[in-house]
Amino acid sequence: MAAVVPAAGAGVRLGAGVPKAFIEIDGTSMLVRAVAGLLDSGVVDDVVAVVPAARVRETESLLAPLRADGHLVVVTTGGAERTDSVRNGLAALESTAPAGDAGYDVLLVHDAARCLAPAGPTRRVVETVRAGAGAVVPVLPVVDTVKEVDDDGVVIGTPDRSALRAVQTPQGFDPALLLAAYDAAGDVATDDAGLVERLGEPVVTVEGHALSFKITTADDRMLAEFRLNPPPPRPEEPHD
Ligand code: C5P
């Protein structure tokens, strides 16, 4: 089982001045948290981290301790769009994967920005691929009503909320299907399963987790810090 972790985004919306995956949450970078989280799930053997070209050497040393248990941890360079970064990660995996006729039976793709993702969804995704699904995504129900708007921002539709789901990572795939989806992908997609959908292949959902939220803005970062370091309970108010 191997996972590609795209971590080459600039993080402009976070405004921290460093690539997003290198921002620390409670003293540990998002990238290290994301990779360690996958390896700690117990179902992921090997990881490819995809980072900005200028960060490859630094990433090698950041991730070196995670190789201790015999995990293969490969670092490669990302591209302009997330799709390019994942494509580079898959290529790195193909060229460095351990020899053997079987290869990997499941490939995961997991955003470094979802660095607090717990093991539960990862295990559910992997189990569901192993049970025969070609593509599996962890999802949560959508709590807001969602509107579709035209170019002027005028509402043109209100999809039935009960049929909508917010999609997270790690997303899991039969390796041949994911590689075929990336081969066929001409342009960018915001998630990997979207490329599988374009091939007309089914994508199965499993239950995601609130802690798998993507850290995109400064508020998200504060929430992540808070979840790792909740403030001590307030002393009880004195009663009269
Ligand atoms: O930009 P977005 O929040 O959708 O990024 C999701 C993940 O993809 C992040 O972990 C980010 O570092 C990664 N990414 C990448 N290469 C890019 C853009 C985003 O690896 N060119």
- Tens-place pLDDT, residues 87-135: 999 999 988 865 444 589 999 999 999 999 999 999 999 999 999 999 9
Please name the residues in contact with 64: beta carbons below 8 A apart, sequence gap of 6 or more: 73
Tell whether ligand 1 has an atom less than 6 A from the beta carbon of residue 112. Answer: yes
Residue 212 is encoded by which pair of tokens? 């798998």
Name the residue at shortest CA distance from atom 2 of ligand 1: 9
Q: How many other CB atoms sit within 10 Å of the CB of residue 160?
A: 8
DSSP 115: T
What percentage of the chain exceeds 90 in pLDDT?
80
Please name the residues in contact with 178: beta carbons below 8 A apart, sequence gap of 6 or more: 90, 107, 109, 135, 192, 196
Q: Is the pLDDT of residue 240 over 70?
A: no
Tell whether ligand 1 has an atom less than 6 A from the beta carbon of residue 21. Answer: yes
For residue 100, what pLDDT is reported? 45
Atom of ligand 1 nearest to the CA of 21: 12
206 in Cβ contact with 130 (< 8 Å): no
- The one-letter amino acid at 37: G
Residue 2 is encoded by which pair of tokens? 């191997």
Tell whether ligand 1 has an atom less than 6 A from the beta carbon of residue 113. Answer: yes
Please name the residues in contact with 163: beta carbons below 8 A apart, sequence gap of 6 or more: none
What's the whole-number mean pLDDT along residues 34-56? 96
Read off φ and ψ for residue 106, nearest 5 degrees: -140, 140
